[in-house]
Amino acid sequence: MSDIRLSLLRRDALSAAKEVLYHLDIFFSSQLQSVPLPIVDKGPVELLEEFVFQAPKERGGSPAKRLNSLQELQLLEIMCNYFQEQSKDSVRQIIFSSLFGPQGNKADDCRMALLGKLVSMAVAVCRVPVLECAASWLQRTPMVYCVRLAQALVDDYCSLVPGSVQTLRQIFSASPRFCCQFITSVTVLYDMSSDDLIPPPDLLEMVVSWIFEDPRLTLITFLNTPIAASLPIGFLELTPLSGLIRWCVKAPLAYRRRKPGLANGHLDGKPAKGSAPARDCQPLYSKLHLSVLQVLMLLQGHLTEKNLYGRLGLVPFDHVVALVEEIGRLSDELNPLNASQEVELALDRLAQALQVAMAAGALLCTREDLRTVCSRLPHNNLLQLVVSGPVQQPSHAALPPGFYPPIHTPPLGYPAHAAHPALPAHPALPAHPVQTFIPGMAFPYRPIR
């Protein structure tokens, strides 16, 4: 690697960056012939940091040559073309990991900035190999870095240029695996904990359209990944289900809490003359809630097929606990605003999601656990039924013909009524004498006046 570094030092910044990719391609291609998964050591990473991310090799050394904006754009094009032309997925993945795997040093900021621009360009020109590498990167990289990449894409396609979200929407058919990981990342990024962390309308509409068109999109990572019973902490979940449930449940309360000036984009809460009215996002959340319930209903078969039913909670119980606490805080905060309808809707959605998730084996807990967690929430009839569990009908002995058991069991706290004793038979009544019919007898008829 030292000989390669000396040759690169004599080149300009752009050609050095291009050359280091060429050398690393040869290096890892030869290693992959003998080792299935070579370990990326310090040598290649240091070359990339020095000649691609312009980080000085020696501490306190002179700053490296910086790329100007045009050179950076040319470098991004070179990298896009490289990943597109490299036919071996294993080589692509290890080069991508060497380039953008976080190292915990000062070069990480430059690394993440360039990654955001590269993936944004890959979305714009539909470079599927780059998107597939980014999907793998999102799966094996700590969550804090995944959120930064998601934020860069949301800024580029949902904030800066109106209407550009259509470009991002089109990658649904090109790289569903990347779309699944992107949805998981944005649900972590926009957790609705404040008004600034409510998902932008364009992003929400795009996510809902993806999932409504194909609910299995949210399960792609789960279905195509070898899974252990325990997942690493600090990384993205296997599915975005927990984040999507949070969106659906918190949406009525978060939008009710939202200040009118932020909701409409104006300080007085009224749109200016000629401006577009604020978009009502609640129908989108209703549509999303239906899709999430459909996905949960599909999970039991997949968990059974992978021999993970009852062993892997795709909706972690600690996420449910955190969500219930957030709903409780929002309900208390909105109590003076008379938000009873919003609270009722949020609790109805929570109850439905909990019931279906437990039935599908995605949520591993007992009714007693739920009863304890939800005890401080406002009363809700549907949630009360869910945490109480189904009422079991007693097994009846052989019943006499013509007897049917009651449909409803007695309410909790009231004893069952004892069976009434059999009534004694009535004594036989004396026979009435038969009235003799006498023909010719006039029947007195008097009209009513």
Predicted pLDDT of residue 263: 46
Predicted pLDDT of residue 250: 97
Predicted pLDDT of residue 338: 83
Distance (Å, rounded) from C-alpha 214 to C-alpha 13? 45
Predicted pLDDT of residue 342: 94
Question: Does the model's pTM come out above 0.95?
Answer: no
Give how far the C-alpha of residue 52 lies from the chain's centroid of Cα atoms, to the nearest Å: 34
Predicted pLDDT of residue 275: 39
Name the amino acid, one letter, at 397.
A
Averaged over successive runs of 10 residues, the pLDDT of the chain (449 residues) comes to: 75 85 86 73 80 69 68 91 91 92 87 95 95 96 96 94 90 95 97 94 96 95 80 88 97 86 42 50 95 95 90 93 96 86 96 96 93 93 90 53 45 50 62 50 47
Predicted pLDDT of residue 22: 87
Distance (Å, rounded) from C-alpha 157 to C-alpha 163? 8
Predicted pLDDT of residue 274: 42
Predicted pLDDT of residue 154: 96
Predicted pLDDT of residue 267: 35
